[in-house]
Amino acid sequence: MNIFLSFFQSEYRHPIPAYDFWQYYLKNGIEEAGVKWAECPGADWALGLVPKDKHGQQKWKDDTWGKTVEWLKKNPADIFLSYLYPQQVDISAVKEIQKMGIPCVNFFCDHIRDFKTLPPEFKVFDLTWVPEYQAVDFYKKAKRPFLNLPMPMWVEPKRRVAGEEKLEQVTFIGSRDIQRVLLFEEVMHLDPKLPLKIYGNSWEQGGTAFREPGSGYTLSKKVKYNLDFIKKHGLAAYYRKVEHRGIQKKLKNNLGPVVNSSPGFEDYNLLTTRSMITLGVNRYPSFNFPSSKPGTYSRLRDIEAPMLGACYLTEYASGIAELYDIGSEIATYRNADEMIGKIRQLEADPALRKKLRTNGQKRALRDHTIPNSINKIRQALNL
């Protein structure tokens, strides 16, 4: 069995959100499944997400997909496994690969964050790996084949031991965004003595996603941009966009005492496993929801932290009860008050913390691994 892999491989560091970890997880997970992986030399899949005009995007498609199709003609694979956004998909190239007898499977984890319906480009795939429980309806309505599988996470065997608690703190690791700031500001206002420590990009700088328009952002360009936004997302989303901008300008930035810089790889793992409690936040910024009632979906951290042996407390999202037995494998909260209550409960109960560490890790390593997902994909494709 040989899987061709398209998961943002690139020889360069592009100005887009972090992506290097995906190929690291997939390559190691595929090998652990006893399967081989292959990739097209010189194909820069991450470049396909760098903003460019239509001509530039088409040039990237012609180059990358052209190389890939020609390479696969000489080096056949059993499965084409990708992580592609709609703008990266070349439908004609996918169909050409399918004509070679290679089923094409796409993983995508931001359906509900980015779309309201299934993008037409995704309908070309033979199967889609869907980690978001809420996105299942997209595929049912479109009558397209899918598998609702966990986020693809791989942990080194040497790290698959129960976490040894050494840090008397509640640790959150993740980049700064408006929803996380609003949540943590409310939490610290309600319980200033909470032993919370926040690590990640932009927290120390206190930056926001909102930026004032530059000098080239003329009135006519502003009007056109906003009209295009309304056409694409609707008036309600535009109203929330304006609301979000106002909220961002008024953020108090009073989390200074609890925020820290982004940790390196080793510190990231140590903080996750050795903290008294490791925290997950599943809400996300979106103009499709009021700022006071954000959408949520289960994230990669919901697989990673338990695999590493953390005592894990995460924000409830649809489908998380399908992944874990809440209360005996992980703990959950739904709002700031519940987060504080669960933290204080766990803080006072070392036996429960140990139970969550042990049971959560066993469940994640038994049921939510990449080898498990690869086997289910093979079964679905009759391979």
DSSP 325-382: -BTTTBEEESSHHHHHHHHHHHHT-HHHHHHHHHHHHHHHHHHS-HHHHHHHHHHHTT
Give the model's confidence band at 47: pLDDT under 50 very low, under 70 low, under 90 confident, else very high: very high
Q: Is 321 exposed, middle or buried (0-12, 13-18, 19+ CB in 10 A)?
A: middle
Q: In whole angstroms, give the CA distance from residue 340 to residue 165.
A: 20
- At 96, list the tokens: 């050409």
Q: In whole angstroms, give the CA distance from residue 271 to residue 268.
A: 5
What was the pLDDT predicted at 94?
98
What was the pLDDT predicted at 311?
97
Handedness of CA 20, 24, 29, 34 (dihedral sign): positive
Mean pLDDT score, 95-112: 97
Instruction: State yes or no: pLDDT of 210 exceeds 50.
Output: no
What was the pLDDT predicted at 285?
85
Instruction: State yes or no: pLDDT of 129 exceeds 70.
Output: yes
Q: In whole angstroms, give the CA distance from residue 77 to residue 247.
A: 50
CATH number of this structure's domain 2-150+369-380: 3.40.50.2000
Is residue 284 within 8 A of residue 180, CB to CB? The reply is no
Mean pLDDT score, 37-63: 95
Q: In whole angstroms, give the CA distance from residue 34 to residue 2.
A: 10
Q: For the segment 223-263, what is each residue's pLDDT rounded down to a tens digit? A: 665 666 566 666 656 556 666 666 665 566 678 889 999 99
Q: In whole angstroms, give the CA distance from residue 284 to residue 156.
A: 29
* Percent of the chain's residues with pLDDT above 90: 78
Is residue 44 within 8 A of residue 59, CB to CB? The reply is no
Rg of the chain on CA atoms, in Å: 22
- At 338, list the tokens: 């519940």
Tally of CA atoms within 13 A in the half-sphere of 247 that contains its CB: 20
In the chain, CATH 3.40.50.2000 covers: 2-150+369-380, 157-208+252-367
In single-letter form, the type of residue at position 338 comes to: E
What was the pLDDT predicted at 201?
87
CATH number among 3.40.50.2000, 1.10.287.70, 3.40.50.150, 3.30.450.20, domain 157-208+252-367: 3.40.50.2000
Mean pLDDT score, 343-367: 97
